[in-house]
Every structure is written in structure tokens, then in C-alpha cells.
Structure 1
Amino acid sequence: MARTGSGRNSKLDSFLKRNTDRAVYERIRAYEPCVVMSESVNKVFMHVVLSDECVYLAEYPPRALTAAVRFSQVRHVELVNDLPDFLSGKDRERCQHIRVVYVTTNPAGRKEDVQRKDQKRLPALPPAPPRSYQPSASSTVKGDANHLSAPPIRNQTHEGGEELQVLKTVRSASCPDPETLSLRHLPRFPIQPASPTRSLHSPVSPILSPTLPSSASHRSPKSPEPGQVTKRRGSVLARLLMRERVSGGERDGEGAEREAELHLYAVSQMSRIYLHLHSSWNSFVIRSTLILDPLHRKRCGLSSSPSPHKHPTAMSWERTAHLFWQLSAELLQQGISLESQYLLLQELRTAAHRNTTLRKLFWRSSDVCVFLVQTLEDSMQSCQSSEVLPTDVLTTDQLLLSTLITQTLAVMFRETEVEPARLSILTAKKGALTVQLLLAVVCDPELHTHQEESSLQSELRTLLAEYLDAACSLLFELVVLGQEASRCSSAEVFLTLGWIFRVLQPHPHLLSFIGYQAQQVVLVLSDPQLEVLSPTQSVLLYQRCRVLLACLQYSCHLGQHLRSHFREEFRYYVKPSCAEEKLPLHYPISQPAQKLVTQLLTLILQ
């Protein structure tokens, strides 16, 4: 777990570990103290806790953990350039104001039944922040995150003048109210006996199969069992936040859908909460869209249920680590055949899709990562070497292997940005491995052959197109890495977008590779026979747009190439209305993708 801002908070960390299931605790990505403002909370200093599905809020000091906004509700996350009136001096100027817009069906100011038990009525709460918080000519979204030192927070009061106090609850911190915590009601999966050995040829590896429940030592003996609901009274803050919770009955039609806002004011000089929040939401949108695709679920060995909220793995960290190191040893052994290598990598990719722990373990040792990058480099050089004919069967095998390696690496990057070992590997020796990966993943998108078109040539073109799709997804992950590094003031994090494009610029096939990605955006959005994009196609469109936007914004060389070669195609064939028609509303990625298409079109036509 990443601890941002002022660093590790042992009291909060202990509280989270003691009061959540291990699987939930391991999915918490970051936490940081912020001043929080919403429809129910008026400028309260709190812990903001980010998981891979939700923004939680905890009192300061922690006594309850409440879900504030789920990423499935979020429409956009942005930085706002304003001067908070409750801060003063330099703290007011340096404040990092994050605005989260989300959709809810809960009427503003609604009183929940839990308040009926209160002997003292709570003061009236202020209305939602005015729309002036939206960026405008005088209040625009920042390009870089501003940081601030921990400010002296004034006594926070409601409009009525009565101070809002977080009262100490009567329950123990080790035994919270499950209704407040909202974390123990995750689905339970049947325990299956673990196989003592791993079968490489079985469709589902033991790494993929749930074997052990959460460690018994992880949960406090006082904690309620899953499904139990205690009657103990929650804190004042928890009851306030429950007003924003959307119950099942409200989703069924009680109340119209409306937008609400959550405002977070970072109070740490080294704050990275915006980066983690945006990255967590971005990962959720991609994951929850891909899981709608039956082909993706089948490839990844996932459940037939498309729900992105279900986590099919309940394997312990120890068991996952044992199986991962066993697989790694087999993959790295000398004299391994190409077929065995391919089967092992298939198993690794499938397991990584299902298991976040495995993705973290991947970065704990550089051996497998270095091996994959080196194998990708050798394979792609052989594919495009004049010494190997494109019609050779060896080229087909190498393209298949290269695609699988690229897909595996892209999965390993996903949702591991807070893993310190990942940054250590990518920055070691002045980023030598990252340079090698960048130069290896970019290739010539054309098959150069003097032979006539044949069935094998057609197969090779199909395989090359699959590789180019996978290469774009991996380059997208590297672009996200560069964007995060560009906002970080640490001298150790030099993997910025500017650095990435400087590394790529000498590559002989860079222009044709980026041009191919732009051409695919045009074809997807202008093809009249393609009425609706699949979930996988929608994610790929989103990733391509992010990569092309980065090229236009951070590389003069690539920006000039895209405008000179694709301006007219984008002008006549790429329309925001086309994106709206081809991206179904029920895809979580549709609205972010539509926004990217509009931004891309604007920059290319400049």
C-alpha cells in the first residue's frame, strides 16, 4: 500500500488492517489527510483512503471507515485552480483542490433513518458547493499539481454557526459497525484444495484458483464475522456520510439521477493524492469495461459474471508467492523450448489478470521482467530482420510470442503504480531497462515482402495487427507512468513524458508506428459497418487517444507529423457524434473516451 503526503500513518494503517478483510486491505492503494467538503461534510480534516473501487473517508484519528464515492459513480476527476477561503497565506495559494463529480440518485439533504436514534438533532448542513467550482475563464484546471504544506485548519462550522464535532464513539476501534465499514460484505467463494504441484497444461492454473481464505491472524478476534451486523452506534461523521449512500431501493427508481460533487483539499507539501485518485479511477474504468467482454473473460479465465466488483481470488499471499516463484523458475530455466515458454507466459498473463498480488510480486524481483524485455527485443528484431523471410513459420511463432509478452507486461503495469519495487526497476541504471523496453515495443507496422499475397501472408498481417494493438496498450501504460512522473517533483523520478519521447525519437519506425495508431482511430470511428464497439475495442480506442494526445502535447516532432499527415482525415472522418454513437452508454469507459476524442480532434486541427 502507498502512503502519500506525510508518509506512513501507523495508527491508520493498523486500523485498516485490523478492521478489513485481508483481500480488501491489500487492495487499498493510498491514503492521505485532506480537508473534505461534500453535501454532508463541511470542511472537515479527514483521511482519504483509496482502494481500487472506492474513495473511503475516515475520521481523524480513525474510528470509522465510510464509502464516500464509488468509482462506478464517478464522471470525472480534475484539479481546480482556486483559492480556498478557509485557508490563509501561502497555504491558500499552494492548496491542491481536487474536484470529483459523480452521479447519485440520493436526494440532496435527505435524512437517513439512522438519525432517528440520535437524541440531539444535527445542525442543518450547507448545500452543495456552487457550480463556480467548475473551471472557467477565471478558474481553470491546472496542468500540474500544486503542493502545499500542512495548513492550520480553522474550526469548521456549518452555516448555522454550530461547530461540527466528530464525537468519540462507544465502540472499540477493533470492532467497527459493519454498516459503516461496508467492506466485509464481499462475496465469499468456496474453498478448493490446493494442488501440491502446478500443471502447465491445465486450462486454469492453481495460481488462478482460490485456495485459502484470509489469514486468521489478519482479522481481530473481536471483529464481526462476515454477514453479521452489530447494533452499536456509529460516529456522528459516519451518520453524516451515510446520507450520500445510495440504497438498493433508491436505485430501483426512488429519486432522479443527478450530479453531486466531492471536494478534497490536499494538505501535504508532497501530496500525490490527485495522481493516485485519477489513476485508480482510470484503472477501474478500464477493468470494469473489459470485464463486460465475454472473449476477454474467457481469455483471462474470469467468472462468467460481468460484475467488476467481484474478486474471484481468495488465495493467500504466501500461496500466491510460492506458485509465482515456482512458475518463474521454470520460465527462466536454460534450454526451455519456445512452446513451453509460450504456455508458461499464457499462464502468467492469465494469473496476473485475476490476481493483484501476483502483479506486485512480479516487480519484487527484476529477473522475470528483464527476461521478458530481452525476449521481446530479440523476437521483434528477428521478425523484422531481412535475414528471416516473413513467410517463414518462425516469424509467425515469434509474432505470437511477442504479442503475449507485450500483453503480459501491460497487465503487470496495471494498478501497480504505488509499488516501490516497480519504480526501482524502471529507474535503475538511469532507466536502462525502460529504454530497452521502449525501443523494443515500437516496430514497423508493415510487412515488407516481394512475394505474392498468400494465406500465410494474410495470417502474418493479422498477427502483426494483434501485436500493434498490444504494443499500443503497453505504450499507454508507459505514457501513464510518464504523466505521473511529470507531476512529481522528486529528482529520482525522471521517467517523464519528455524523457520517454526523447528516448523514442531516434527509433527508425517511430513515425510509421504512431501513424498506424492514428489511422486506426480514424478507421474505427469512420467505419459505417462497425455500428457499436466491443468493450475491448472501446478500451483500445481510449488507450490510442491517450497515446496520441501525449504525442501532440509533449513531442513537437510527433505533433508536427500527426498534423501534417492526418489533419484532413480527422477533419472529415472523425466526429464527436461518431464516438457517441459507437460507444454504448453502459460501458464505463464511454464518456472518458468521448472526451478524449474531442480533445484529440481539437489538437490535431489546430
Structure 2
Amino acid sequence: MARTGSGTLLSRRNIKLDSFLKRNTERAVYERIRAYEPCVVISETVNKAYMHVVLSDERVYLTEYPPRTLTAAVDFRRVRDIELVNDLPDFLSGKDRERCQHIRVVYVTHKPAAKGRDWLRRDGAGGPPPAAPSSRRTSHCPSIARTLEGHPAERNRTEWRKEEVHISKPARSASCPNPETLGLLRVPHPPGQPPSTAPSLYDPASSPSSPPSPSEQSLKTLERGQVPRRIGSVLSRLLRRDCATSGEEREAELHLYAVSQTSRLYLHLQSSWNSFIIRSTLLLDPLYRRKCSASSDSSPGKRRPAISWERTAHLFAQLSSELLQDGIGVESLYLLLQELRTGAHRSVPLRRLFWRSSEVCVFLVRTLEESLHGCQSLSGVYTADQLLLSTLIVQTLAVMFRETEVEVARLSLLSAKKGALASRMLLALTCDPRLQTQNRGSQTDSELQALLSDYLDAACSLLSELLLLGHETSRCLSADSLLSVGWILRVLQPHPDTLPFVGHQAQQVVLVLSDPRESVLSPAQSVLLFQRCRLLLACLQYNSQLAQHLRSRFREEFRYFVKPSCAEEKLTSRYPISSATLRLVEHILTLMLHG
């Protein structure tokens, strides 16, 4: 699993717990578990119990110490805030009291149904399946688009979209006989649609971004504390009793006390929550959901055997060899990258394989360098092919970062040789947002500007993923450590395009929040605003030069045009990402105006 291995940013593996989880959960659930850690748990139904917290990409589970049952405690779709509390818990003493990390998870409870639905039900109560942004514009480059139909790579891997994952396991371990206390929740499905199996690598029925038709193609872990432990049956009864209590929907809190100086639980919670609210917000887009549910080769309710890790590895190796072959044309490269990106959207194992195979990542960074900067520096202008290919590369890299923060190979690759590859990636994605063309005002210039805007949006998303890694490093080590936020911004600072690039992102925040024509932002616009705000906040907090540039250039625009009340109007409460974005806007305003 992704939690295995050692490293300053990663959790240690607990062989006994890992074996329990593997025996008692379906593979589709097991593969989505990102981290686990022992800590003291306090909630409305659990009082100072020393338990294991198991974290997946959709919810928080609890299990006894040692493990006997696995219970879903909180779904990320109901979380409103995750924060560190600076206190000294009175039930701990000595060093445990001093080094404890107190994490408070604020969430909204279920409003019970008339007959009292069970909180531990198995009906897919989680959030939406993984999702990722899709291209907004069609191709303006016929030289690439015309070769998309009938490409050999797509035909050879048709099983990637035909395979479906069956998650109902026929047998359970004797150590966990009660099926209702297992967190074996089905992979959730969008509202109004029938339940489906877990997403495969290349299945249009479950894909967040199915490949377009030929006419739509475009280049585009913990030392054990002295705390009493609760037995599994007591935990199960307590949690079940909470379900029977009726009442209005309200906020509740889950308190987690990690008594280890090396705890990474808070970081994993924040990362998992951020990833969840992004993909669940994107799924609210009607067009996005239609693409997710489109299926031409599978009938409703039909299930096929799960695609194995071995088969996934074989398909990835096949795709990698085609990507890395000498003399590959730009059209074939674009098609193969489309297939890689689409498969990565659906498969966490594929993303893990990507980081374990360093050649593909290095190849993408080198190709981005050559495509976006090599040719442009010679001619002084961007071309449609450059922008389309560069956008796809950056989108693919951004997807590979999602839900892989506990993958040892990712950290090893990015930190090797003093962060050489990470530095190259940062410098390669930064570009001048001011379009340099030879025929200003022409229709071609307008099309190129649209493609450049698409690239700048994708670059912000990738930089946001890198900054998330930086925040983890900054908290685990120091603000100046390799791969920290401060280090990332120091790498970018000398780049001649960094100031205009960051300025462009700030200007877009102002435009989006001050445009009276936009009453409510779309899901994709909301996600992009969230990512841009994270970038601006990092610049204001961790780099004095970038902070000074932002204040001198945009202080007045933020003072007069960016209002929390206006932002609240544009960010509908239906979007899971809205409350987090509003907090970012308020923080940015404080630093921008009073910093």
C-alpha cells in the first residue's frame, strides 16, 4: 500500500493493522486508504478511547487498538473545517501532554430519517467519485486533431475502459463478523444515478473526463499512550445509539489527539479533504456529470472482474514504452498523453506506478520545457500546438499528484539531487501570461489567447498541488527545507516570468469576484478560484518579494473590488469547496490590506 516505507513525511507501516484492513475490506476500499495512525479519540459517542484512525480519500474510519471492527466515523462531504488546537489536554500527562497534536474536525451530522436510518449503513453514503477538470475549448490545431481517430494506442488498451471493479466481497474475516460495522461502503455515485462499480482505468461510465469523440478531440504514524481502550462491541453500540437520536441537522466535532512528535495525521486529513472537495465540486457540473455517465459499451448493473494490479502495471508499461520511443510525432504524443491523463483520473494504482517509473515523469518535464520555452524563445511567439501540448502535460502532472502524497517514490523522485526535477518542473510551468504575437487583433490571436488562458489555468492547478506538498514539508521539517513552500517560491523568484505569472493569477481573482455579470460561479470556476487563492496566500505568507509585488500592484483592487460578501454570493453553499474558499479570501484580504 501507499503507506509503506519510511521517510520524514510519511507514516510508518503497521503490519498487523494493514493485514486486518486487507482481510476485511474490498480491494477497491483498501486501495483508497491513504494513511492510518493511533491516537486518542473523543466524540459525542466515544470518550478518550485509544484507537486507530484510518483515513481514505472519502472518509475517516475508526478501529479498536488492536483492530477488530472498522467503522466509518465522518464523511468528508460533511466536514466543514479541520484545524489544529493549541492546548494541553488534561487527560494526558508528562511528555505525552506536551507533544500532543490536537486535531478538531468540525462536521455536519445527518438529519435522521423518519424510521431512524443507521449511521453505519452500507448504501454508498460517501461523496462523489474522483473527478478532474475537463477541457473547455475545442482544438484550434487541425494538424494534431485530425489524427486522433483510430489511433493504435487507444485500440490496444480498450480493456482500460471496459474493465469495471466489483467491490462486494463474498467472505469476511472471523475477527470482524458483523458486516454493519465494516466500512465497506460502495463507491458512491452521483445523485439521481444508479449505483455503479468502482471506476476503472479507462471506463467512460465512471470517468470524470471521458475521451471526447473524434470531432471533440483537442490538444488541448505512534507511541502508545496510557489511555483506556474500548472494546469493539461497546464502540459499535455507542455509534449505533447515536443514529437513533432524532433531531435537526447540526454541527458536531471529532477530536483526535496524536501523541507523537512525528504525527502526520493532520497533514493527511487536510490533503484528503482538499482533494475531496475539489473533485466533489467538479462533479456538480451538469456537462461534467453527463460525460462521467456516458457509456457506450456497458449496460446498467453489469459488472466485470476488477482489473488487477499486475494488469494495470502491464498496461502502464505498454503506454510508457510508446511514449518514450524515439521519433514519436506530436500527434501520437498528444493521443498517448490523453490516454495517460484519462487513466490517471480513474486509477490510484496508475498514479502510484507513474511515480515509481521516474522515466515518464522526467520525460514529461523535459517535453514541457522544450514545448513551452524552447521553440517560443526562438520565434518570440507561442503556437497553438505548443499551448495545447503544454496544457495537456501540465494537466497530466497535476492529476498524478492527487491522492499520492503517501507514495514513497514520489517524495524520493522530487527530492533527489537537491530537488532537481522539482525545480525543473516549477520553472518549466511558469510562462509569460502576455501573449506575444505577430498579428495583433486577428482571429488567430484571439484563439491563441484562449489557449494561453487554458494553459495558465492548468499551470495554477499544478502549482497548487506542488504548494500542497510544500505545506506538508514546511510543517514536518521547516519553512526553509527542501520542497517546502519557501523553497518552492525561492526557486520561482528569479524566473523572469514569475512576477507577471503571479500577477495574472491575482488579477483573475479580482476579475472573478468583481464581475457583476457572474452571479454564481460554475463548479470549475470555483475550484480554480480556490487554487488561485491558495497560491496568493502562499506568496503573501512565505516570500517577501512576491508579497511586496502583490501589495504594491493589487492592494487597491482588493480593497475596493474584493468583498467577502460578494464572494459569498458567487460561491453557492451547494459547492463543497465554497466555505474553504471564503476563508482563503478573508485571509488574503487581511494580509493584502494590513500586512
Query: Please, what TM-score do these two structures have when normalized by structure 1?
Result: 0.78
Greater mean alpha carbon deviation, residues 198-207 or residues 443-452: 198-207
Q: Secondary structure at the match of 2:153?
A: coil
Quote the Cα distance in structure 2 between the aligned partners of 1:5 and 1:478.
16
Indicate which of 127, 130, 153 corresponds to 1:200.
153
User: Cα distance 1:312–1:236, how it changes in 2: closer, same or farther (>3 A)?
Assistant: farther
Q: Are residues 1:484 and 2:472 paired?
A: yes
Change in 2 beyond 3 A, CA 1:42/1:405: same
Q: Of the candidates 220, 237, 261, which is equivalent to residue 269 of structure 1?
A: 261
The one-letter amino acid paired with 1:240 is L
Q: 2:26 aligns with which of 8, 15, 21?
A: 21
Quick check: 374-383 or 219-228, which moved more?
A: 219-228
Aligned residues: 512
Query: What is the rounded CA distance, in whole Å, between the counterparts of 2:156 and 2:576 in structure 1?
Result: 29
Report the CA distance between 1:255 and its aligned residue: 2.5
Match of 1:592 in 2: 580
More RCO (CA 8 Å, sep 6+)? 2
Shift of 1:520: 0.2
Equivalent pair of 2:3/2:35 in contact (CA under 8 Å): yes
Consecutive unaligned residues in structure 1, runs of 5 or more:
115-178, 188-196, 305-310
1:287 to 279, 293, 299: 279
Contact kept, 8 Å, 1:112 with 1:242, in 2: the verdict is: no
Alignment correspondent of 1:99 = 104
Tell me if the contact between 1:380 and 1:440 (Cα under 8 Å) persists in the aligned partners. Answer: yes
Q: Residues of 1 paired with 2:275 and 2:248: CA distance?
A: 28
Cα distance in 1 for residues equivalent to 2:238 and 2:444: 65
Residues 181 and 557 of structure 1, relative CA distance in 2, 3 Å threshold: same
Match of 2:35 in 1: 30
Aligned amino acid, residue 550 of structure 1: A
Q: 2:13 aligns with which of 5, 8, 11?
A: 8
**TM-aligned CA distance change 1:483 to 1:205, over 3 Å:** farther
Q: CA deviation at 1:241?
A: 2.1
By how many angstroms is 1:421 displaced?
0.5
Q: How does 1:157-556 map to 2 (within 5 A)?
A: 182=122, 199-201=152-154, 205-211=158-164, 213=166, 235-245=233-243, 255-297=247-289, 314-382=306-374, 384-387=376-379, 389-390=381-382, 395-489=383-477, 494-556=482-544
1:63 aligns with 2:56: no
Deviations 1:378-403 (A, max 9, x none): 1111453242544xxxx111110000
Q: Which has the higher helix share?
A: 2
Secondary structure at the aligned position of 1:594 is classed as: helix
Structure 2 counterpart of 1:71, one-letter code: F
Judged with a 3 Å threshold, the aligned counterparts in structure 2 of structure 1 residues 342 and 460 are, in CA distance, closer, same or farther, namely same
Partner of 1:137: none
Tell me: CA distance 1:331–1:294, structure 2 relative to 1, closer, same or farther (3 Å).
Answer: farther
What is the alpha-carbon distance in structure 2 between the residues aligned to residue 212 and residue 458 of structure 1? 44
1:510-537: CA deviation from partner (whole Å, max 9, x where unpaired): 0000000000000001111111111111
Deviations 1:298-334 (A, max 9, x none): 6678779xxxxxx999422222111111111111111
Separation in structure 2 between the aligned mates of residue 295 and residue 444 of structure 1, nearest angstrom: 31
Q: Following the alignment from structure 1 to structure 2, what is the Cα–Cα distance between the partners of residues 349 and 498?
A: 29
Q: Classify 1:36/1:227 alpha carbon distance in 2 versus 1 (closer, same or farther; 3 Å).
A: closer
- Identity across matched positions, percent: 66
CA positional deviation for 1:404:
0.3
Matched residue type, 2:471? Q
Query: What TM-score does the superposition give when structure 2 sets the normalisation length?
Result: 0.79
- Counterpart for residue 93 of structure 2: 88
Contact 1:34 1:46 in 2 (8 A): yes
Task: Tell me the alpha carbon deviations over residues 485-510 of structure 1, each in whole angstroms, 9 at most, x when there is no partner.
Answer: 00113999721011111111110010
How well do the aligned residues superpose, as a CA RMSD in angstroms? 3.4
CA drift at 1:415: 0.7
Quick one: which amino acid aligns to residue 42 of structure 1? Answer: N
AA partner of residue 592 (structure 2): I
Further displaced range: 442-451 or 37-46: 442-451
Q: 1:595 to 1:389 in 2, by over 3 A?
A: closer
Letter in 1 for 2:285: D
TM-superposition CA deviations, 1:37-74 (whole Å, max 9, x none): 01111111000000111111001111111111111110
Unmatched 5+ residue regions in structure 2? 128-149, 183-230, 297-302
- Quick check: 1:472–1:544 contact (8 Å CA) kept in 2? yes
Are the equivalent residues in 2 in contact too, given 1:349–1:407 (CA < 8 A)? yes
- 2:540–2:546 Cα contact (<8 Å) kept: yes
Counterpart Cα distance in 2 of 1:12 and 1:536: 38
> How far apart, in 2, do the equivalents of 1:52 and 1:415 lie?
7
Change (3 A) 1:262 1:216: closer
Q: CA deviation at 1:198?
A: 9.4
The structure 1 residue matched to 2:562, chosen from 574, 581, 584, is 574
Letter of the 1:78 counterpart:
E
Q: CA deviation at 1:583?
A: 1.0
1:214–1:528 CA distance, 2 compared to 1 (3 A): closer
Deviations 1:127-176 (A, max 9, x none): xxxxxxxxxxxxxxxxxxxxxxxxxxxxxxxxxxxxxxxxxxxxxxxxxx
Does the residue aligned with 2:13 lie in a helix, a strand or coil?
Answer: coil
CA contact (8 A) 1:363 1:422 kept: yes
- Mapped contact 2:473–2:484 kept (Cα < 8 A): yes
SS of equivalent residue, structure 2 residue 71: strand
Query: How far did 1:452 drift?
Result: 3.1
Q: Could you list the per-position Cα deviations for residues 416-469 of structure 1 after superposition, in whole angstroms to 9, with x for gaps in the alignment?
A: 000001001101111110000000001000112353311111100000000000
Are the equivalent residues in 2 in contact too, given 1:99–1:262 (CA < 8 A)?
A: yes
**Which residue identity is paired with 1:323?**
L
Shift of 1:208: 3.4
Question: What secondary structure sits across from 1:72 in the alignment?
Answer: helix
